[in-house]
Structure formats: C-alpha cells, structure tokens
Structure 1
Amino acid sequence: MEVTPIANEVWLNRHERRASVDIAQSSVTAMGYRELAALDGEGGARIGAALADARLDYGWIEGSPAFKAAVSRLYGREMDPSLVLQENGATGANRDAVVSLVGPGDHVVCEWPTYQPLRDIPRALGATVDLWRLECDGTRWTAPVEALERLVRPGTRLICINNAANPTGALLGREELEAVADIARTVGAYVLSDEVYLPVAQDRGYVSMLDVYERAVVTNSLSKSFSAPGLRAGWVVAPPEVAARIRALRDYSLICAGVGNDLLATLVLEHADEVLARNRAIVRARARAVGEWLGRTPRASWCAPDGVPVAYLSLDLPDGLDDETFCLDLLDRHGLLLVPGGCFDMPGGVRLGYCCPEGELGRGLDLLGRALEGLD
C-alpha cells in the first residue's frame, strides 16, 4: 500500500518548531497538566493518586468501562459499550475505520475540502474516490445534497464526512445529515463521520451522525474540542459487524492506548461540560477578534466557521505570489506560522488556527495584516 504524505502534517513537522508566533494549529488552545488535573475537584490530588497507584500493564485493551461510559454520554442514543473502541486519537480511529470498511475496487464518496486521510486512505486501499465538494456562498459553507445524490451509485461502499471540517470549519446540521443518511440508505452505504470538532459546537444544536443513521461509523478524540491533543486519546463507535473488524485490526496497530492516558482521558470526559464551556468561550471570543480584524484587512476574507476552532482565510495575493511562498516569507521574516491553503488543495489562502492563546492570536493577526498591507 502506497501512502500519500499528509501535506499539512509535512508542513507543520518541517516548520512549526522555528516559529515564534503560531496561529496555524487546529485545536482549541491546549490545557496544561495542572489545569487538566484540577478537573478532579481536589487540585489534582485524586487523579495524581490514581496515576501513582496505577499498574503500568496493558490495562483495559479497548478502553476502561469508565472511559466507554463517558464517551457514550456524548451521544443522543444509548449504545452497547462494546461498540466504543479506544484509539490513538482520531487519526488512529479514522485509519482503522477506513481499513475495516474499504478494499480494492470499492467506491467511496468523500466530502471535500476535508481532512486528507479520509480521501487518501481509501485511495491507497485501491478504492475509487469521488469528491463531494462543499461550497462557500460568500458567508458560510453549504453542502449541495443534490451533488452527493449524483455521486452515489449502486455499490457505493462508504461516504466520508468531516463534521465539522478541517480546514474550513464547515458544519452539517441535522437536516443535512438526514439527507446524507437517506442517500446512503438507497445503496446500503456506510457513513464515516470524523467528528473531532463537533462537541464544541453542539450547544448550537448540532448532532452526531450516530444519532441519525443506523450504519454510521463515528470517530472522535480529545485533541480538538477538548484541548488535550497530547493525550492521544480517541475512539470509534461502529455497528457490531464493523466494530468486530476494527477490534481485530487494533491488535495489529494499537493493542491499547495506555493506562495513564485512559485515566486522564476519562477525567476530561467526565468533566466534558466544564471543558466545553471553557472552549466555547474561547471560540466565541477569538472569532469576534478575527471578525474585527477582517473588517480592517481588505486582502483577507473568510466563510466564517460554525463555532469550531479552524478556518480557511482567502487571501488576495498579487499575481505571481503563491500561498506557500507567502507563508514561508512570513515565517522567515516574522517567525509567524500559518499553513498554506495548497496543503489542503485550496491554493490562494491559509488555514488559520484562531483558538490559540489570546495574545498570540493578536500578535499573529497584526503581523499577517502588516504583511498583507505591504503587498499594496
């Protein structure tokens, strides 16, 4: 299997450690250990004792009962805990889900723009992949359901969506998800929904694909909405026949996520309301700051993300200046890190991670604004 490098990850691995101002990351600003541990209500004493007393064996291979129960509470319907499988972030969850579902000659439809592995893992496995392209109407991202209907055909194995999407922040509502489910039912396709950004937006009434479609496979993690990417704690929830295949695959790719990671991840999930309230406040405040900046920055615009911490900025760059060259110049001259849109097959703009610390966002937007002004 020939795997295509993830362009966004290649860019970050190459450049992020030499940046002094980073507005490129895709999570709500991460918690430190002290903040995370304090969720236990005892200043970290309880979780500290649990970690100190834990045996560093393999622990619960699929995730502890407490972890699975906490994950289950994020969804609207009751579920069998055996269908919740702990993974190495959503990255591992997506890989195992796709590999368990797709083989040579299969047909897959993938929302686009989206997280690159959702398109490229099926391709690497020998599937034909058609892209369901979301559109920016100048204000928000929209999902043309009729276009999806034209792409799906008898024998379509899988529809992949990223809800909300990286790098655009586009989010499908219940009506759109139900339309996706109706289309999938006509051919018996599974729907894989990467929902790492969904929890932070659920106060706006958004729902999981799991709650609208019986053949949904959903992935998630603590990395984006829950501000704990360093735990590498994710999960996949799937119908029984798919969960069985993923369970077998995990023995080749993961075995377990680690005793300490499980304890800390469970603590975060058991205090999901508290963590999400923190992060929703950050998203709202930072989005207002970006909106104000855009109002005085004529060379930049966006289709506003829907309550999630990533966005795509369109830049009015002069002829002959591409987004990668512009971003490299920002890094070399100002120490400012952004991800060029070309890394997402969206040239002419950048992926903005606007939920970094407040002071860093302000410095980053100021540097970006001055660089854009200098193009005039």
Structure 2
Amino acid sequence: YRREVNPDHILQTNGCTGANLNAIMAVVEPGDHVIAEWPTYAPLYEIPRTLGAEVEYWELREELGWKPDIEKLKHLVRPTTKLICINNASNPIGTVLDADMLGQIAEIARSVGAYVLCDEVYLPLENTEAFMSMADVYENAIVTNSLSKTYSTPAARVGWVVADEEVSNRIRTYRDYTMICGGVFNDALATYVLEHKDKILERNRKIVFGNRDIAQAWIDTQHRVSWTAPQGVSTSFIQLDIPEDDEEFCKRLLSERGVLLVPGSRFELPCGARLGYCASEDVLREGLRLLGEALAEFDR
C-alpha cells in the first residue's frame, strides 16, 4: 500500500475468503442496502444476502470493455447504502479498474457514508506502477487480499483484511469464532513469501504473460472463441459461439476429454467460460488443443 497502514488495522485471515467473510459480517446487518459489482466472486453478494441485506448488482458491461458504468452506480446508491463491493482485478473477467474509476467510486460512497469492500486477491502483474489499492483512495475502504493468486501460494491459506479502527475491532471479535489464529507454519511461509515477493512476482509475470500469449495465439485461430484479454491477471473469460448450452458443453468437454472449464452460466454469463490459463505450458497447450478439437466438431 502506498500509505502507511497502522499494523493494528491489518488482520490475518484464513485466505481472502476468510477476509471477505469477516469483513462483511463486521459491517452488514439485516435490512442494509448493499451494491455488488457483478458478475464477481459469489461471496461478495451472497454473504450480504445471507445476512439479510438487500443486494443490487452493478453490472460489468461488455461494450465498455467489461468495465462498469459509473453513472449506473450513481443511480443505484441510496442514502442508506451501507456497502459497495468490488473485485479488482475482476474474477472471472480479468479486467482492472483504474485509479480514476476508484476515485469516482470513493466519491459516490463518501456522499452517503458507505464502506467500499475491495477484493484485491487478483492483484494484477501488469502496469503495477499504475495500480491503486482502494486502501490508498478511500478512508472508509475495506481491502482484502491473500497469497493464493498473485503470489501463487494458495497452500498457505493466509489472507488479510485492511480496515479502519472501528471495523478492525469488530473483525477481531468475529475472528475468534471463524479462525482464532493462523497456523504457525502457515504464518512462517506467508512471511517468507512476502519478504521475497519481488523474486516471486518476477517468476509469476513470466508465467502469466507467456501463457497469455499462448492463449491469445490459440484464440486467434478459433472462429468460435473470443475474449477481452486479461490485464496481467491469471483468470479470464472466453466467449463461445456454439449451438449448445455452455454448461452441457463444459460437462461433455470434461467427461470426453478431461478438460475443465467453469461454464459462464454459473456466473450468469451464458455462452462462455472462465478459463484459468496459468497451468504449466505443456498442460495449457494440450488443454487448448483438446478444447479446439471439441469446438471443431460443431463445424463438421
């Protein structure tokens, strides 16, 4: 983070999932109004809904390069809005909201006194000097992250949440019921990773950028596949031009060829799929070959 964060306001959690759970429980009550970027990681809208909040979606728009419309947020926000949930970079799309957009979100949230929860677990590996954390933009930001994605150490199951003093103190109580404390070995591994993050991120950039080029080259040969290339993020969304339900296609792809994609309909984005492209190069190439083979059957 670019600003100095009080260490008392950074709390370790069980992955970013635990960070999101504790943060949302700390601020959302039954009857609250919550706005959630959509489509996104399901807990960012399902947990508030489970807690009794009214949840409205702020949609990512394909015609805007899978960015949301800031004017739409202005119409969604209410004087009673408690929380705005965003995911930067986006899962499943892989797009990044820039500093200007974050500033506008903060201004809208500030006008009604709402918190902004920003899940930053897919911290982009591209144009990092331009990336801004919501923690550096808005005084009522709640920021979550972990070692699982950008730092490629999901086995550590270590995440964290950054919030102001009041929210941090509430989260401390919730952690007593959801975590108690982190494992000693997990904590040691996480500390080691962050101490050497420059070397780890250098390695991960080679993987992400190299595999994205492989995926792009493959997409360029496929008339039934398109995407908005992810911005230095390890997840992406491909659009499929096929005469079959995407879930049925993905099930058949898995059973017949052993290739796993998450159907876009699971994100309420039909005719597409979430593609994680950061496998080892040989696995990625073989998976794309088999996917292309399955798509070619529609042209016989």
- By relative contact order (CA 8 Å, sep 6+), the higher-ranking structure is 1
Alignment of 1:269 with 2:160, yes or no, is no
Query: Cα distance, 1:199 vs. partner?
Result: 5.0
Secondary structure of the residue aligned to 1:351 is strand
- Check the 8 A contact 1:199/1:276 in 2, yes or no: no
Q: Which amino acid aligns with 2:182?
A: A
Counterpart of 1:195 in structure 2 is 120
Secondary structure of the residue aligned to 2:47 is helix
- Check the 8 A contact 1:143/1:176 in 2, yes or no: no
Unaligned runs of 5+ in 1: 1-74
Counterpart of 1:242 in structure 2 is 167
Query: Cα distance, 1:202 vs. partner?
Result: 5.3
User: Residues 199, 262 of structure 1: CA spacing in aligned structure 2 closer, same or farther, 3 A cutoff?
Assistant: farther
**Among residues 27, 36, 40, which one is paired with 1:110 in the alignment?**
36
**Once superposed, which parts of structure 1, at least 4 consecutive aligned residues long, lie more than 4 Å away?**
none
Counterpart of 1:223 in structure 2 is 148
**Among residues 62, 77, 81, which one is paired with 2:7 in the alignment?**
81
Counterpart of 1:33 in structure 2 is none
User: Residues 199, 83 of structure 1: CA spacing in aligned structure 2 closer, same or farther, 3 A cutoff?
Assistant: farther
In 2, Cα distance between equivalents of 1:251 and 1:131: 31
Query: Cα distance, 1:370 vs. partner?
Result: 1.0
Query: Cα distance, 1:204 vs. partner?
Result: 5.1
In 2, Cα distance between equivalents of 1:199 and 1:307: 5
Counterpart of 2:280 in structure 1 is 357
Query: Cα distance, 1:360 vs. partner?
Result: 0.7
Q: Which amino acid aligns with 1:302?
A: W
In 1, Cα distance between equivalents of 2:196 and 2:151: 10
Counterpart of 1:328 in structure 2 is 251
TM score, norm. by length of structure 1 = 0.78
Query: Cα distance, 1:290 vs. partner?
Result: 1.1
Secondary structure of the residue aligned to 1:313 is strand
Query: Cα distance, 1:278 vs. partner?
Result: 1.0
Q: Which amino acid aligns with 1:242?
A: V
Secondary structure of the residue aligned to 1:198 is coil
Secondary structure of the residue aligned to 2:128 is helix
Alignment of 1:281 with 2:231, yes or no, is no
Secondary structure of the residue aligned to 1:256 is coil
Alignment of structure 1 residues 117-128 onto 2, 5 Å = 117-128=43-54
In 2, Cα distance between equivalents of 1:218 and 1:107: 19
TM score, norm. by length of structure 2 = 0.98
Counterpart of 2:271 in structure 1 is 348
- Check the 8 A contact 1:109/1:129 in 2, yes or no: yes
CA deviation map 1:195-227 (0-9, x unaligned) = 001153452511100000000000000000000
